[in-house]
Amino acid sequence: MTDTDAANGPAGEHVQLGTAEGYLALPEGGSGPGVVVIQEWWGMNAHIEDVVRRFAAAGYVALAPDLYHGKETREPNEAEKLMMGLAMDGAAQDIVAAANHLVQHEAVTGQGIATVGFCMGGSLALWSGTLSDDIVATVGFYPAVPWERMSPTWSRYDGKAALLHADEHEGGINGGNVVSAIKALEGAGAEVSAYEYPGTDHAFFNDTRPEVYAPEAAALAWERTLAFLAERIG
């Protein structure tokens, strides 16, 4: 099924990824490097689909796996329950399935697959670099899930690269999840870049949440993300 709402990029379509569904968008040029987009704790909502289309507009074959398998919410309490109920082995399976789908897709070019995630997805994106040799570059926006839930094998990051975007409210690059990830990634031999955005709150990139959205910081983080991806996967 093709999506007709393509205001921020080429139209997307829903595809099957093993036990999960995904949302896929191709660049207008027909081909490009592959990026897996990983959802916030709200689920695979319109905002994440919009981000997928934005990546496609920037020249990437972008795919977001639905880690909640059809569930989404706008209520923080329900979102927390969905996140806490997410089985990490199932999430790993769905993320790897998305990466494999891109590896096998005829439109995908480049030097490996990248993952980009937000909030809960920020942690899962960074974690994904430990799950697949095909995932060579990761971007985590304000990672929110404690690493203990995932028990990452950070040593699999040797020769890979990671980019972290941190909001000031949660401690910036010295915040718990961020600083521990930087230490672990660098210790594993990864090339790590991390940026703090002054005056920002968690979820500053999400333009559907006016109470936290920070346009200038979001634009800068997006610019840095695209530059990182261009360097790492083409």
Domains of the chain, by residue range, sit at 12-233
Buried (b) or exposed (e) across 128-159, using 16+ Cβ within 10 A?
bbbbbeebbbbbbbbbbbebeebebebebbee
C-alpha span between 114 and 17 (Å, rounded): 17
Mean pLDDT over residues 191-207, rounded?
98
pLDDT in tens, 12-38: 999 999 889 999 999 998 899 999 999
- Check pLDDT > 50 for residue 5: no
pLDDT for the residue numbered 187 = 96
Give yes or no for a contact between 89 and 11, defined as CB atoms under 8 angstroms apart: no
C-alpha span between 206 and 76 (Å, rounded): 15
CATH number of 12-233: 3.40.50.1820
- Give the pLDDT band (50/70/90) at residue 7: low
Closest CA to 102 of 58, 44, 162, 62: 62
Beta 108-118 vs 32-38: how paired, if at all? parallel
Mean pLDDT over residues 107-125, rounded?
97
pLDDT in tens, 132-179: 999 999 999 999 999 999 999 999 999 999 999 999 999 999 999 999
Beta 12-17 vs 20-25: how paired, if at all? antiparallel
- Check pLDDT > 60 for residue 223: yes
Give yes or no for a contact between 64 and 13, defined as CB atoms under 8 angstroms apart: no
pLDDT in tens, 37-78: 999 999 999 999 999 999 999 999 999 999 999 999 999 999
pLDDT for the residue numbered 3 = 46
